[in-house]
Amino acid sequence: MPIRRVLLVLVMVLGAAVGCGGDSDEPTSAGPSWQAPSFAESGGTERAPTAAATTREGTVDRDPDEGGSPEGQGKPDQEEGTGNEPGPEGEGPEKPAPEIDRPYAKLAPAPVGSNDNSTGPVNKRFCVGVSLLRTPPDGLTVKVTGVGLNRTDMMRLPGGTCQGRPSCKGYTFGSENAKCSVVVIPTRADPEGLLPETRLTVSGQAYCAAGAEDACAEWVRDADGFDERTIALFLPSEPEPTTSGPDSGEPADPTTNGSTDG
């Protein structure tokens, strides 16, 4: 074998041994570095890198071009029953309260009259029919607030009703001007007719409806013009019966039950 060929083989063997050792201080050259062409260079559309979205579980990639929020991120959970929920069906603004009659004037005494003036017999219930001296107009009512006697040494008021009429206590007179009743019991007789009469007094409160103020004012003004607004009651002329006890039997039924309507 020629010497030149032998030397060439030795050089190749030594070179291979040096390359396999990897202990060289000089970095091996990897050749020119390669960079991937951009989308613009390759004719495509360049796309921005994705953004990172933080959720309760960690970080996920989200494309900013995509709508909505990533799973696990968004508006906080709304508590049940705290939203703008519609009210119960059928409910709405409160309706205004209906108009009611308002207190207008106190009548002490109220202008009342009766044709049931002669009581008797003694210690017997006697029925007095009471009505207003003038009929109230529409829109005006008069509620009885009290019934009394100017003296109690000759008569008394046991209460109750009589002759099918309601008691005057708490009664309300309206435009029909119906009668109410007061039961009285004479406790003595006046055979000579010398004792003074007892006066039955009825107090009241006038109520006026909205829009009827003019009519109410006229009625009250006329009522105040009556000189006599109480009812005169006279004692019986017969002496006290001896065959029956006090306050027994039904009230007497007077033959006249009229009233004065001025």
Asked if the model's pLDDT at residue 111 lies above 90, the reply is yes
When comparing pLDDT for 173 and 74, which is higher? 173
Q: How confident is the model at residue 7 (pLDDT cuts 50, 70, 90)?
A: confident
CA distance 224 to 202: 14
**Average pLDDT of 174-185?**
93
Query: Tell me, what CATH number does 116's domain have?
Result: 2.60.40
Domain assignment present for 177: yes
**Structure-token pair, residue 207:** 């109520």
Distance of CA 102 to the CA centre of its chain: 20
CA distance 226 to 221: 10
Q: How confident is the model at residue 238 (pLDDT cuts 50, 70, 90)?
A: confident
Asked if the model's pLDDT at residue 122 lies above 90, the reply is yes
170 lies in which domain range? 102-233
Q: How confident is the model at residue 9 (pLDDT cuts 50, 70, 90)?
A: confident
Q: What percent of the chain has pLDDT over 90?
A: 47
Domain assignment present for 91: no
The phi, psi pair for 16, rounded to 5°, reads -70, -35
Return the minimum-mean-pLDDT range out of 48-52, 208-212, 220-224: 48-52
**Structure-token pair, residue 113:** 């009259």
CA distance 126 to 234: 11
When comparing pLDDT for 257 and 116, which is higher? 116
Domain assignment present for 202: yes
Domain assignment present for 199: yes
Number of domains in the chain: 1
Asked if the model's pLDDT at residue 249 lies above 90, the reply is no
30-80 pLDDT tens trace: 444 445 444 444 444 444 444 444 444 444 445 545 554 445 455 545 555
Domain assignment present for 257: no
Pick from 85, 80, 159: nearest CA to 125: 159
Residues 6+ apart with CB under 8 A from 123: 185, 186, 187, 240, 241, 245, 246, 247, 248
**Structure-token pair, residue 184:** 């009285």
Return the minimum-mean-pLDDT range out of 87-96, 97-106, 130-139: 87-96
